Chains A and B, each alone.
Chain A
Amino acid sequence: MSSRPDVVVVGAGVVGAACAYHLAVAGVRVHLLDRGHVASGSSGACEGNVLAWDKELERELPLALRSAELWESLAHRLPDDFEYDRKGSIVVAETEQELTASAERARVLAGLGVPGEVLDAHALRVEEPHSAPDLPGGVLYPGDAQLEPRLATAALVRAAVAHGATLSLNTPIRAVVREPSGRAIGVQTATELITADAVVVAAGVWIKQLLEGCGLHVPVTPRKGQIVVLERSPVVFRRKLSEAGYVAAVEGGDDAALAIAMVVESTQSGTALLGSSRQHVGFDREVDISVAGAIAARAARFFPVLNHARALRVYAGLRPLTPDHIPIIGPFAEAPNLCVATGHEGAGIGLAPATGELVADWYTGVPTQLPLSWYSPDRFAPVELGAAS
């Protein structure tokens, strides 16, 4: 490397890429590292939904709304295309009860700046002609968008490099190195210690193990998800589709039980993607065909035309889950120049730009758009149990 960077960013997933991009644009000298290639982790094994309706309302939704704005402007500003499309999404209810609850959620969201339109059974079929005849309706959220996550991650990295960032791929970080005072010195690769003013760790589901090594606790666990990719076909779904029960699956218990919720979207390359599954099975990324079958069954329940579609392949990825389902962004009290950016679970693509912006504003000392305290890693600091006795 030519000169010492101001900031080292560990992880070239979408979150690390967004951090590097915003830092570089702010004039910071950034060095971005990944042990693999760009988007070799979760960001290369997911979908690209940028949604607002499914977010936790207090801390996650504001991040989502800011991110949605940023993705829209990045789609115009970045030189590389990443198939950004503000196509809108429909939350499909399976029962009248779900429709009532969805309409109520839409009312709340409207008050928070997320407009939605309640669809009755007829309106749903006009919007999405492939809907099963018994479905009672849903809610259309016209502001939701979709993008190609791998292309988007690569576009951010390339733009960061265009703004002076340096990039080292195939470079595993063995440890983040700290001074006795607690401050970070830099990161240790197999061959060198790279020092910097600050270290940003965006290592996705692998962050817990990496930071344990330097005595810091980031309780992120992997939550496996699979996607079924369909062969190209004339059947196109205009909007992004999810079932109303999706939020329950996301917020569901953290046990090993398998949760399936319908998510369907057509892509610009002409395929369609079917999700979603949630499972706690450690770091296993092998495809499980019976889970893929359950995903397919759920999708076909809502859109029977899919029974005649053909599945081309199946892939699996890991979502970085936190105990309170809120991302972890910001420095540690005991390591004030060591900042983490992770824990976005099934929404890291959607939430990445605002995360990168928060991290850049934190480093450059600009007032942040949202209070960093909402996302602080210190909220998980182990409580000292009465040492007196």
Chain B
Amino acid sequence: MMEELQVDVAVVGGGPAGMSAALAAERAGAKVALIDEYAAPGGQIWRRRYDEVQDAAPRSLPRAARELCAALSDSSVAVLPGASVWAAASPGGRGLSQAAGSASVELLLTGGPVERVRARAVVLATGAYDRPVAFPGWTLPGVMTAGGAQALAKGQGVVPGRRILLAGAGPFLLPVAAQLMARGAEVVAVAEATRRRDWLRVGPRMSAHPDRLREYAGYRRKVRRIEWGHVLVRAEGDARVRSATIAECGPDWAPTGRERTYAVDAVCTAYGFLPSVDLARALGCELRGDAVAHDEAMATSVPGVYVAGEASGVGGAELAQVEGELAGTAAAGGAVRPELRDRRARLAGFAGILGELFDPRPGLLSLARPETVLCRCEDVTQGAVDAAVADGATTMSALKIATRCGQGPCQGRTCERLVAARLPEGARFTGRAPVRPIPLEVLIKTAES
């Protein structure tokens, strides 16, 4: 028999969005469960050190985070850490079993004692992950995303190398550079694709958010050498990365000339984040661009399914918390304070400015060469994908069939956009459960009950 939990509201993801959603739903009178893959709530930004996972309010976290963590542990919310939701079904959307026929949303879990959660409503607060960019050498050991490097630094206290080059665009580069420096690494260069003139263009609108600018200036003081208008064009090495080359880039971020090579033992890229939408897709939720589509109350296109935080669009931790509160309240059937919507609109406005400035530009796609691998799991090169396109493949499933791309353990999370860029706009893999590899024993249990 499956170990089961029945609640009013189930929240998937325990970052700022998920924690706020769980607490808001509880305040609205609901019985709530909060599920997160990591050993303790906090999400990406508030990822705890491994020795703090038992703490109610870890000391290494900022105050806002400590307060939220403490409120959560004082609440009646059933926190299920270390558990992945690997499949989901809702009465109004796509399902696990056509025969299910129940009025609740059903989540299947692996990793913890509870294996199934049934809820009247669910909030997807599954966050985001680093947007992958393919360039020659991006699969070399020592080359990683800035988020990956940061997770290592925060969770394990280790840095990926001694001489590190960071490249990308946007506000995430600097905090990571500062964190790596604080742990003793030398940051040889930070290549930022935008130029000052891009910033001047959005400057007037930016000035409506002075707190954000102050935060940025703080990091700017710690990280002095920034190569504006540069992109990373390749990483080289044999068993491991040994050098990284950056080049000046044009307004579309395609490299335009003058290269500079640095001796390094690690490279981190930060070209923004992609919302984690695999569970939403498995439920049949509509997407808008990269994120899960939603209305003012954070309701998705599938009845009973809400979304909050980066999964609904990348916008930072503060926006994630506001959205969590909106979604949690709505999921519990509570009344929303109108000023919360206004706050959301303001914060989303700032996220829009950042998007305008830092969303990846088409020139980045010119970095990969025919021999550059796009799908790392199945070792599929850009050349192989292009050959399949030349052969008549016009859809992602045709490419999957022709090249095997997207069929490995990551199920296309990494290569989806890279492969899709070889096709006309909007191409996507289909999302289906299981959204995570699962032990067969777990799968077998679903048939027994």
Query: Taking beta carbons and an 8 Å cutoff, which residues of A are in contact with B?
Result: 36-40, 44, 150, 154, 158, 167, 169-170, 228-232, 269, 281, 284, 286-294, 296-297, 299-300, 306-315
Query: Taking beta carbons and an 8 Å cutoff, which residues of B are in contact with A?
Result: 87, 94-99, 108, 378, 391-395, 397-398, 401-402, 404, 407-409, 411, 432-434, 437-441, 443-448
- List 18 other contacts, CB 8 Å, given A169-B394, A230-B440, A310-B439: A38-B402, A150-B402, A167-B392, A231-B409, A284-B98, A288-B95, A289-B97, A290-B96, A290-B99, A291-B97, A292-B447, A293-B447, A296-B440, A307-B440, A310-B438, A311-B437, A311-B443, A313-B407
Q: Give the Cβ gap from B150 to chain A, nearest Cβ, in Å.
A: 27
**5 closest cross-chain pairs (CB), A and B:** A293-B447, A37-B398, A293-B446, A294-B447, A289-B96
The CA of A150 and the CA of B391, in the complex, are separated in Å by 14
Are B440 and A300 in contact (CB-based, < 8 A)?
A: yes
Q: Give the Cβ gap from B287 to chain A, nearest Cβ, in Å.
A: 18
The residues of A that contact B391 with a CB separation of less than 8 Å are 158
Among A287, A289, A310, A312, the one with the most B-chain Cβ atoms within 10 Å of its Cβ is A289
Q: Give the Cβ gap from A382 to chain B, nearest Cβ, in Å.
A: 32
Are A311 and B438 in contact (CB-based, < 8 A)?
A: yes
The CA of A80 and the CA of B79, in the complex, are separated in Å by 53
Are A297 and B401 in contact (CB-based, < 8 A)?
A: no
The residues of A that contact B444 with a CB separation of less than 8 Å are 293, 296-297, 300, 307
Are B392 and A293 in contact (CB-based, < 8 A)?
A: no
The residues of A that contact B448 with a CB separation of less than 8 Å are 293, 297
Q: Which residue of B lies closest to A158 (CB)?
A: B391
Are B402 and A288 in contact (CB-based, < 8 A)?
A: no
The CA of A311 and the CA of B391, in the complex, are separated in Å by 32
The binding surface of chain A is classed by DSSP as: mixed
Are A290 and B447 in contact (CB-based, < 8 A)?
A: yes
Are B446 and A292 in contact (CB-based, < 8 A)?
A: yes
- Provide 11 A-B residue pairs closer than 8 Å at the C-beta atoms, listed in order of the A residue: A269-B404, A281-B98, A289-B97, A289-B434, A291-B97, A292-B443, A292-B447, A293-B446, A293-B447, A310-B439, A311-B439
The residues of A that contact B446 with a CB separation of less than 8 Å are 289-290, 292-293
The residues of A that contact B394 with a CB separation of less than 8 Å are 37, 169-170
Are B98 and A288 in contact (CB-based, < 8 A)?
A: yes
Are A309 and B407 in contact (CB-based, < 8 A)?
A: no
Are A286 and B398 in contact (CB-based, < 8 A)?
A: no
The residues of B that contact A232 with a CB separation of less than 8 Å are 409
Are B97 and A38 in contact (CB-based, < 8 A)?
A: no
Are B401 and A37 in contact (CB-based, < 8 A)?
A: yes
Which of A288, A296, A297, A312 is the one whose CB lies under 8 Å from B437? Answer: A312
Are A314 and B447 in contact (CB-based, < 8 A)?
A: no
Q: Which residue of B lies closest to A12 (CB)?
A: B392
The residues of B that contact A288 with a CB separation of less than 8 Å are 95-98
Given known pairs A44-B401, A297-B448, the reply for A307 and B441 (CB within 8 Å) is: yes
Are A314 and B432 in contact (CB-based, < 8 A)?
A: yes
The residues of A that contact B378 with a CB separation of less than 8 Å are 269
Which of B393, B401, B443 is the one whose CB lies under 8 Å from A296? Answer: B443
Q: Give the Cβ gap from A140 to chain B, nearest Cβ, in Å.
A: 26
Given known pairs A167-B392, A269-B404, the reply for A38 and B398 (CB within 8 Å) is: yes
Q: Give the Cβ gap from A151 to chain B, nearest Cβ, in Å.
A: 8
The CA of A291 and the CA of B378, in the complex, are separated in Å by 27
Q: Give the Cβ gap from A241 to chain B, nearest Cβ, in Å.
A: 16
Among A40, A288, A311, the one with the most B-chain Cβ atoms within 10 Å of its Cβ is A311
The CA of A229 and the CA of B438, in the complex, are separated in Å by 11
Are B440 and A313 in contact (CB-based, < 8 A)?
A: no
Q: Which residue of A lies closest to B108 (CB)?
A: A289
